[in-house]
Amino acid sequence: MGAVINDKRSLLTLTNDKDNQVQVATSETVPVLVSDINGDISQGDQITASPIKGVGMKATGNTKVVGIAQGEPIDSDDKQTYTDNQGIKQTITLGEVQLLVNVAYYYKQPEKTIIPSALQNLANALAGKTVSSLPLIISGLYS
């Protein structure tokens, strides 16, 4: 797993019978195409695959990531339209960002609350969404 690049420096090349080659970077810093589907990308943001093939986006939840943005996207004036999985047309901006390829699993840190993070993570995992602190406090009082 890595980032597809247009570069002969890649250590990994995938081919098929039609002589089409795909260069894959599995480490180092490379330029990649990204979108603002999950919001604007800044330096240090984790980048994951977007619903658009070959385009990355900001990771906003627990997911596998390809790497870390080394800056903000450049050439981000290109507006595109795509249809999301609910059939709604969305307008997005595409750009190119330098990405430090580092395939890993990203765990979004929970917001700071008075609830211990282990308990908050457990409640979020069981509910399948972020659980606010109040229900956890109330349930703790009645146990």
pLDDT digits (tens, 9 = 90+) for 57-113: 999 988 899 999 999 998 777 788 888 888 889 889 999 999 998 888 887 776 666
Percent of the chain with pLDDT over 90: 26
CB 117 within 8 A of CB 110: yes
- Residue 131: pLDDT band with limits 50, 70, 90: confident
CB 24 within 8 A of CB 3: yes
Angle 117-127/133-141 helices, nearest 10 degrees? Answer: 100
- Residue among 71, 61, 58, 52 nearest 108 (CA): 61
Kindly report the length of the chain: 143
Average pLDDT over residues 118-136: 77
Q: Which amino acid is at 100?
A: L
Residue 4: pLDDT above 80?
no
Percent of the chain with pLDDT over 70: 77
Q: Can you give the pLDDT at residue 19?
A: 63
Q: Can you give the pLDDT at residue 59?
A: 93
Q: Can you give the pLDDT at residue 135?
A: 73
CA dist 124 → 40, 66, 70, 100, 110 (Å)? 25, 24, 30, 30, 9
Q: Can you give the pLDDT at residue 111?
A: 65
Residue 9: pLDDT above 70?
no
Q: Is 133 helix (H, G, I), strand (E, B) or coil?
A: helix
Average pLDDT over residues 8-12: 57
Average pLDDT score, the chain: 80
Residue corresponding to tokens 């797993």 = 1
Q: Can you give the pLDDT at residue 47?
A: 94
Average pLDDT over residues 44-56: 90
